Amino acid sequence: MTWILIVGSGTGTRFGSEIPKQFLDLAGIPVIAWSILAFKRALPKASLVLTIPKGKAYQQLAKERLSRFRDFCEGIVEGGAHRQESVIKGLKWIHNDCNDCKVLIHDGVRPFVNVDLIKRVHKQIERGKAVVPTIQPPESVRIQTGNVNQPINRELVHLVQTPQGFYLQDLLTKLDELSETYSTDEASLFGPRVNIVEGDRRNIKITFPEDLIIAKAMISAGLIEKPDVV
């Protein structure tokens, strides 16, 4: 059995809009709903749960913006104060349904995740490891330590995307072992025990206002196909 957890519980502080960016319109579809539709096309038998921002106002907003897509979701869970807390809440919701299953965790503000990428990650999930899609940077890369910086071979650098894949029990065990909040993503908890698969440069993350402009331009240019909405 496979579960998808789409994390959409941020409130858009960096984006600077009144409405959290995952609920903003993108070619007539809320940003987060693009991901819902992609996962349902890629893994139609999988179950899906969303996390949304905490608070009654955000619950109402999610109800309004996602009314057309509610039937695709087995659950909508109120998130926490930060990503880790939101992920844990989502995983516990899933754990009520299954003791151990495959789980794909995806950023709700990566609307252009595609079917092939989802299937690549899902196929490589194995016990005791995380699976992450990555791309390599086109720019030169330097690393800084204190006041000193030096170039490094960019071919050794992998930029991590989502979805990331795990076995539920493996990930819950890692989270239980934590003594502090992690600062990056769930795969970081597995150290070097990570399977890397090919990512997709179109799988952009909507973080700043210009990212939404880029996303709309990609659709207009025909680089992204708008999904059918039932």
153-192 pLDDT, tens digit each: 999 999 999 999 999 999 999 999 887 777 678 999 999 9
Is residue 226 included in any domain, yes or no? no
Planar angle of CA 20, 41, 1, nearest 5 degrees: 95
Q: pLDDT, tens digit, for every residue of 91-106? A: 999 999 998 899 999 9
Is residue 137 included in any domain, yes or no? yes
Q: Can you say how many angstroms the Cα of residue 196 is from the centroid of all Cα atoms in its chain?
A: 16
Is residue 230 included in any domain, yes or no? no
Taking residues 14-22, report their average pLDDT.
84
Is residue 229 included in any domain, yes or no? no
pLDDT, position 229: 75
Is residue 225 included in any domain, yes or no? no
Taking residues 204-215, report their average pLDDT.
96
* Domains of the chain: total: 1
Is residue 228 included in any domain, yes or no? no
pLDDT, position 183: 65
Taking residues 221-229, report their average pLDDT.
91
User: What residues make up the domain containing 134?
Assistant: 2-220
Structural contact between residues 170 and 128, judged by C-beta atoms closer than 8 angstroms: yes
pLDDT, position 230: 58
Amino acid type, 158: H
pLDDT, position 11: 81
Proportion of the chain in helix, strand, coil states, percent, rounded to 5? 35, 25, 40
* DSSP state for residue 197 in the 8-state scheme: E
Residues 6+ apart with CB under 8 A from 117: 133, 163, 198, 199, 200, 203
Residue with tokens 């899609």: 133
pLDDT, position 112: 98
Please state, in angstroms and rounded to a whole number, the distance separating the CA atoms of residues 181 and 65.
31
Helix (H, G, I), strand (E, B) or coil at 130: strand
Is residue 152 included in any domain, yes or no? yes
**For residue 179, what is the domain's CATH number?**
3.90.550.10
Is residue 18 included in any domain, yes or no? yes
pLDDT, position 189: 94
